[in-house]
Structure 1
Amino acid sequence: MTLRLHDTATREVRDFVPLEEGKASIYVCGLTVQSEPHVGHVRSAVNFDVLQRWLRFSGFDVTFIRNITDIDDKILIKAAEQGRPWYNLAYAMHRELDRAYTALNVAPPTYEPAATGHVPEMVELISTLITKGHAYAAADGSGDVYFDVRSWPSYGELTRQKLDDMEAAEDADPRGKRDPRDFALWKGWKKATEPETAAWPSPWGPGRPGWHIECSAMAGKYLGTAFDIHGGGVDLRFPHHENEQAQSRAAGHRFASYWMHNAWITTAGEKMSKSLGNSLLIPSVLERFRGIELRYYLVAAHYRSHVEFSFEALEESAVAFRRIEAFLDRVRDVVGEIPAGGMACSEFIEAMDDDLGTPAAVGAIHDVVREGNKLLADGDTPALRGNAASVLAMLDVLGLHPQSPAFTAGGSEQDSRLTEAVDALVRGLLDQRARARAAKDFAAADAIRDQIKAAGIEIDDTPTGPRWSLGTEKL
């Protein structure tokens, strides 16, 4: 297999050549835990979860790091507005994020470092930059430390911008900067407006790290001075990733060999965000759709494609996935438990190796399902068993295995009893329908079917008898 990746830095599709044979190292910028996660937030996690799953499926030993930013200007501001400690807000929102990831079957990273746990590494990296002449402490007594962008001739190479064309960095008071585009590595404690708990000791006085230095320090801590892939949302390319690369390489680190960025989820053509007021919180979406359906919707689009979110599109996507589930249910009625260890079809492998081409990969799964339906009709049980095992294997690569604990666990006893009760009622109606058909009273049989369908339940007449499932209309 030869995995080809679109490298955002070079704007080329390149063969993936790891720094160490058989191993792959990935660093993904996680979220700033300032508020509840919305659909746009979780897309990056889902996309890079697919990347790590595919690399592992392809035989790589993967070290996957996804950080958490738990100290930041926005966190301090929101916490103050809510009258709560900043760390209380960060902790609560981190737990909300974990719940969202779990609901969408996002596998835990190898490590998930938090910024507040790595301040000593950040101080050390800043000191190195000062020693090398690429950073300076502000002369205004603020305690701020800035990266000197003009000291690094390659600044702007990731996003292919010229320094003089860039806007000023708005991350600190510009009065202490040599150049308006210099960005903050360390922010001196503002005693009048910031809590004492938001300050750590440093050679430049109490304060806290700037956003960009956090990721450089944590990547270096867990992956070393050079690693394979750095990922994140396309909105992070500038200034965050540009600044990460500049400060890391200025410190003497090779840093990332490949850069990958997922595109936005938009509503009305605009990036989904809290500031625009168009965000869709994960718990609200999950009241209408299952986590596996939302994940299918996100996976079915290529990671570099912008997605215009709508509930209508999500519904169409959910219906498509339910067809796969219905096929697997019919197979189990015939062959029993579907064996694990199935093989992915060549079309799926080719699609995934082509820059994680999930749209074509999903199409390949549906093609295999269509073949399986023919095998069901023909009664070819041995071939059917292998066909269904292949479907499950490919779904698992995409994090869409219906039996994954994330999708099967968590239902309450009351939910289970409700399902059993509905099943008993529907089965009773189906028995009445069967008796009406046997008596050739087709009008009565059709009336019962219409009654069931009006309740939002679909009936599928299979060779082994009728099956019911929730239809496309939400109850």
Structure 2
Amino acid sequence: MSLRLFDTAARELRDFVPLEPGRVGIYICGLTTQAPPHLGHVRFAVAFDVLRRWLTVGHGYDVTLVRNVTDIDDKILAKSAEGGEPWFALSYRNELETRDALDSLGILPPTYEPRATGHVPEMVELMETLVEKSHAYAAPDGSGDVYFDVQSWPAYGELTHQRLDDMAPAEDADPRGKRDPRDFALWKGSKPTEPPTASWPTPFGRGRPGWHLECSAMACRYLGETFDIHGGGVDLRFPHHENEQAQSRAAGWGFARYWLHNAWVTMGGEKMSKSLGNSLRVREVTREHRPLAVRYYLTAAHYRSTIEYHEGSLEEAEAAVERIEGFLRRALPDAGPLLATGEETLPEEFRESMDDDLGVSGALAVIHDTVRAGNTALDEDDDEVAAELARTVVAMTHVLGVNPLDPVWHGGSGEQDDTLAALDALVAAQIEARAAARAARDYP
């Protein structure tokens, strides 16, 4: 069975065939750094981390993953003005906390993590190309705004399957300079109320990038004019991804061949967000719950399914992790931190589930079935079979990023190391006591 992924543009499952044999290029929209990340923010990173791992481990692809940082936009400037902190300091502080949050959840670092502010020349070049091709225009009022002309691109709306006549006006800039209210901003002219550091010179006047322009420019810079997969949260399909695709293809690029979108984390049926006051900041959550359990919680649902957070959600994830971890420590008592070697054979049922649009629920079912079989083998004193099953569990959980023996969950220093040492001593004592009881046939 070949890998099949649900392509948002096609609205169906498609066999995945990379542009270049053996290599895959992925671009995912990262976080805007106006605030610290909460669980809803980081779900995209977990979802695409699983995809990346499966492409690498399950299919042997060499994956290049680009995850951008939007380090300047309207919200960042507004937060900066509210708090009196320079916008670039605010942005960088939140970028560092975001990176720490993703690291704490075992998410592999991207191949490249470009910032918008570091790629203004590429954006200006793309903008000039669109103007030359009559797909963009500078506002006639001399404001420095530059807009994409949606009427000039008949395919506009093809990603989200909308008709232009049914679309609402784009609310990303002053409509007075637009030919059509649905035209979107490529570039925003500088304003007297904004700091001088938040603008760059262009042939059209000083200003800063529009949200959509940056991603097209950076994707092309690191992956080429045509690449394999573009991903992000479902809320980015329109207008962000629609606009990315339109401006990129209008410039003559092939752009993304597959579009993948993950669903939200909700509370009380509403999207988790700062504005609703229902956010769970990653830094705070991981102080109360093991990061491994948080990662498991965000991984366990299919990436296109909404996760409804409720009291007890993370406790349920913790219990599932403990079942896996308990078996591994019983079956491999001397292993310590352990990674998959890459030589393990993954069960066919696991491979089939993962190849079916990353069916993690089916994959986790195989993991827990294997854990049960391994515990049965231990109870029957078949330690060799149990150890082999344990190594298979390590390999499968590695694919999902939830291997309890991965060193990523056992790093740190000082108090954390002391705690882990004490825990290891307690586990070792329990294992020794169990072995003695078994030898004495003291099964109760």
Q: What interval of TM-score do these two structures reach, taking the shorter chain for normalisation?
A: over 0.9
Q: Read off the aligned partner of 2:128 and give its amino acid letter.
A: S
CA RMSD after TM alignment: 2.1
Q: Read off the aligned partner of 1:45 and give its amino acid letter.
A: A
Q: Secondary structure at the match of 1:10?
A: coil
Query: CA 1:421–1:304 in structure 2 vs 1: closer, same or farther (change >3 Å)?
Result: closer
Distance apart, 1:415 and its partner CA: 3.5
Partner residue, 2:56: 56
Query: CA 1:464–1:357 in structure 2 vs 1: closer, same or farther (change >3 Å)?
Result: farther
Partner residue, 1:288: 288
Q: Read off the aligned partner of 1:216 and give its amino acid letter.
A: S
CA distance in 2, matches of 1:403, 1:335: 9
CA distance in 1, matches of 2:30, 2:41: 9
Q: Read off the aligned partner of 2:399 and give its amino acid letter.
A: V
Q: Does 1:92 align with 2:97?
A: no
Distance apart, 1:255 and its partner CA: 0.5
Q: Secondary structure at the match of 1:194?
A: coil
Distance apart, 1:332 and its partner CA: 1.9
Say whether the 8 Å CA contact 1:233–1:264 is kept in structure 2. yes
CA distance in 2, matches of 1:94, 1:311: 29
Q: Does 1:361 align with 2:363?
A: yes
Partner residue, 1:171: 172
Describe the superposition over 1:433-468 as per-residue Cα deviations: whole angstroms up to 9, x where unpaired.
Answer: xxxxxxxxxxxxxxxxxxxxxxxxxx99844569xx
CA distance in 1, matches of 2:67, 2:334: 42
Say whether the 8 Å CA contact 2:332–2:390 is kept in structure 1. no
Partner residue, 1:439: none
CA distance in 1, matches of 2:405, 2:185: 47
CA distance in 2, matches of 1:56, 1:421: 36
CA distance in 2, matches of 1:419, 1:299: 25
Partner residue, 1:433: none
CA distance in 2, matches of 1:416, 1:38: 27
Say whether the 8 Å CA contact 2:337–2:405 is kept in structure 1. no
Partner residue, 2:27: 27
Q: 1:59-138 alignment to 2 at 5 Å? A: 59-138=60-139
Kindly tell me the number of residue pairs found equivalent between the two proteins.
435
Partner residue, 1:221: 221
Q: Could you say which structure has the larger radius of gyration?
A: 1
Q: Read off the aligned partner of 1:47 and give its amino acid letter.
A: A
CA distance in 1, matches of 2:128, 2:427: 70
Describe the superposition over 1:379-399 as per-residue Cα deviations: whole angstroms up to 9, x where unpaired.
Answer: 222222211110000111111
Say whether the 8 Å CA contact 2:353–2:359 is kept in structure 1. yes
Q: Read off the aligned partner of 1:213 and give its amino acid letter.
A: L
CA distance in 1, matches of 2:428, 2:133: 76
Say whether the 8 Å CA contact 2:229–2:256 is kept in structure 1. yes
Say whether the 8 Å CA contact 1:264–1:271 is kept in structure 2. yes
Q: Does 1:404 align with 2:406?
A: yes
Q: Read off the aligned partner of 1:210 and give its amino acid letter.
A: G
Say whether the 8 Å CA contact 1:66–1:112 is kept in structure 2. yes
> Structure 2 stretches of 5 or more lacking a match?
439-444
Distance apart, 1:401 and its partner CA: 1.9
Q: 1:384-399 alignment to 2 at 5 Å? A: 384-399=386-401
Q: Read off the aligned partner of 1:371 and give its amino acid letter.
A: A
CA distance in 2, matches of 1:213, 1:402: 41
Match of 1:348 among 344, 347, 350: 350
Distance apart, 1:405 and its partner CA: 3.3
Partner residue, 2:372: 370
Distance apart, 1:400 and its partner CA: 1.3
Q: Secondary structure at the match of 1:81?
A: helix
Identity rate, percent: 61
Distance apart, 1:164 and its partner CA: 1.2
Partner residue, 2:441: none
Q: Read off the aligned partner of 1:406 and give its amino acid letter.
A: V
> Structure 1 stretches of 5 or more lacking a match?
431-458, 467-475
Q: Read off the aligned partner of 1:123 and give its amino acid letter.
A: V
Say whether the 8 Å CA contact 1:333–1:464 is kept in structure 2. no
Say whether the 8 Å CA contact 1:335–1:381 is kept in structure 2. no
Distance apart, 1:333 and its partner CA: 2.9
Say whether the 8 Å CA contact 1:26–1:228 is kept in structure 2. yes
Query: CA 1:153–1:383 in structure 2 vs 1: closer, same or farther (change >3 Å)?
Result: same
CA distance in 1, matches of 2:337, 2:290: 23
Return the TM-score normalized by structure 1.
0.88
CA distance in 2, matches of 1:194, 1:243: 25
Q: Read off the aligned partner of 1:349 and give its amino acid letter.
A: R
CA distance in 1, matches of 2:245, 2:428: 62
Partner residue, 1:311: 311
Describe the superposition over 1:68-116 as per-residue Cα deviations: whole angstroms up to 9, x where unpaired.
Answer: 1001110000011110110000100000001100100000111111100
Describe the superposition over 1:222-247 as per-residue Cα deviations: whole angstroms up to 9, x where unpaired.
Answer: 11110010000000000000000000
Q: 1:318-357 alignment to 2 at 5 Å? A: 318-333=318-333, 340=341, 341-357=343-359
Query: CA 1:422–1:120 in structure 2 vs 1: closer, same or farther (change >3 Å)?
Result: closer
Query: CA 1:150–1:287 in structure 2 vs 1: closer, same or farther (change >3 Å)?
Result: same
Say whether the 8 Å CA contact 1:330–1:462 is kept in structure 2. no
Q: Secondary structure at the match of 1:311?
A: coil
Partner residue, 2:39: 39
Q: Larger relative contact order (C-alpha < 8 A, sep ≥ 6)?
A: 2
Distance apart, 1:282 and its partner CA: 0.4
Distance apart, 1:343 and its partner CA: 2.1
